[in-house]
Amino acid sequence: MSLLRAAGKVSFLTLVSRVLGLVRDVVTYSVFGTSWVSGAFVLAWTVPNLLRRLLGEGALSAAFLPAFARARAREGEPAARALMASVGGALVFGLGSLCAIAVVVGLVIPPDAWQLQPGANAPADVGSVEVGALFRDLLAILLPYAVPVCVLAIWSGALQSLGSFGPGASAPILLNLFWLAALAVVHVRGTDDLAGAARLVAWFLLAGGIAQLALAAVPLHRRGFLAPLRWPRRGDASRAVFVAMLPTAIGMSVVQLNVLLDQAIAAWMIGAEANNHVYLANRLLLFPHALVALPLATVVFPKLAEHASRDDSGALRKALDSALSLTMLLAVPAAVGLALIADTLLDVAFVHGRYTADDAATTRWTTIMLVLGLPAIGSAQLQARALYALGDTRTPAIVSAVLVLVNASLNLVLVGVFGFGVAGLTAATSVCAYANAIVLRSLLARHIGRSTVVGGAIVRTLLASSVMGAAIAGLGLVLPEGGSRSLRTLLGLVLPIAVGIGIWLVALVLLRSPELDALRQRLAARRARRRAARET
């Protein structure tokens, strides 16, 4: 019940963030279009964003949270506070120094050395020099963003261990507000200089990253856990956190590194404009990911760590199976549904300003190829966290390192040999995501045994989602096309989503899905507790 309640809170806050993110992306592409400027911006933004996902949402949190929980349980709150202060101090000095060196080196490198092509639709006077110069400037502004957002990961991890999930989930909302404020300033100043406008947005994002720290600093201070950052001392427990973090970073990086690789190959082989389609596909993927995979992965990890610390493999397997079943129950229909409505969603939400219908056609297939990997992404995240909870950080690292190489090879084959274009890049990412999930599942069974529950859940979910997909596709054949934007939204988005959810639920009921029954019982229990609380 507490798991579902916490996941619901994280899901709601993340949904708000994704809605704001969708609005900001719509406005961004209305202003910039899929131009060489937005392509250079997306590539530069991907680098600190990769660090954020690996550290802020991944490896650092995965290594720090169990250590913080153990220190607090075994040695008391002062030890946990000291651990957080030393990990934060080492992070600020280490990552800050790395970012400073990277910025200096990046500014020294000649613009044409980046070998970034503008794309077929760029003006005649724009070449690799202009694209490289803009990318270099944007990277110098945006790369330091990684430092405050990774410190936020430590503070948010401490709050999660204390049972508070709101501050970490609220941080992206604040960042989106800063981004939208930057776009408002760009609108007032005019869009004649798109490169200058991109630099302005970058400065606002850096300011937003710093402002996010306040969201966690205030509740930590109230709980007495906020201490000045300091460098770790000899024998400090924080050293073990970073030792555990390094292989964990590799293990949790397969999707993020593949995204960066996709965008780099797109810029080098197709043109900077192609980055926009990969970026938008990932943004649309994050919307269902925020509702089904990320909240469960976030809130179940402390439970997995707790069961592992007691060497209770049975309880760990049960908690993991429950989370995996719920992830499959929601991720599969979400992937199918988004793939079917992607065309209308892009048309209704994005096609205006500098973003054209031709742009939407390319983004559609890029999105479909990526979003079909959503169930595997969610499954792999949960299984990697289970291995980390068990102290096995090496296995996911090795699997991810191999799959990054596989993804690079698939990218070159699908784009360079078969000419599949941008959609070939995201198709390779989805293939690697499924390979990651399958391999991790097999290797995890060596620690906790094989599940006898998840397989049935997958079969039932696939059947229900197939019926749902057929209904949505059939509905698209009989409904009229065209009309106003409001009519297209109603008939092309609202109605198919409503019908799809209804048919999916009916199918699960007919299949007597125990996952649906468990979810319904938990929701009913939650409503009953709320009523009891109001009555008292």
Question: Mean pLDDT throughout 83-98?
Answer: 87
pLDDT of 295 reads 67
pLDDT of 61 reads 72
pLDDT of 447 reads 84
**Structural domain boundaries of the chain?**
1-246, 267-373+383-391+452-531
pLDDT of 24 reads 92
For the ranges 42-56, 173-187, 324-338, 422-436, the lowest mean pLDDT is seen at: 42-56
Residue 9 pLDDT grade (very low, low, confident, very high; cuts 50, 70, 90): low
pLDDT at 353 over 90: no
Block residue for tokens 């949960």: 382
pLDDT of 29 reads 93
pLDDT of 260 reads 76
pLDDT of 469 reads 95
pLDDT of 256 reads 67
pLDDT at 338 over 90: yes
pLDDT of 1 reads 47
The residue among 409, 408, 380, 410 whose CA lies nearest residue 396 is 380
Give tens-digit pLDDT for 129-166. 898 999 999 999 999 999 998 888 888 878 877 777 77
Residue 370 pLDDT grade (very low, low, confident, very high; cuts 50, 70, 90): very high
pLDDT at 297 over 80: no
Across 184-198, 254-268, 394-408, 470-484, which has the greatest mean pLDDT? 184-198
Block residue for tokens 């950052």: 229
Question: Mean pLDDT throughout 431-436?
Answer: 92
pLDDT at 4 over 60: no
Give tens-digit pLDDT for 477-486. 888 877 788 8
Q: How far apart are CA 447 and CA 426, in angstroms?
A: 32
Encode 295-308 in three state secondary structure: HHHHHHHHHHHHHH
pLDDT of 226 reads 83
Residue 247 pLDDT grade (very low, low, confident, very high; cuts 50, 70, 90): low
pLDDT at 248 over 70: no
pLDDT of 242 reads 74
Average pLDDT, the chain: 84
pLDDT of 494 reads 92
Residue 438 pLDDT grade (very low, low, confident, very high; cuts 50, 70, 90): very high
pLDDT of 340 reads 94
Give tens-digit pLDDT for 11-31. 677 778 878 988 999 999 999
Percentage of residues in the chain with pLDDT exceeding 70?
90
Q: How far apart are CA 443 and CA 449, in angstroms?
A: 10
Encode 20-86 in three state secondary structure: HHHHHHHHHHHHHCCCHHHHHHHHHHHHHHHHHHHHHCCHHHHHHHHHHHHHHHHCCHHHHHHHHHH
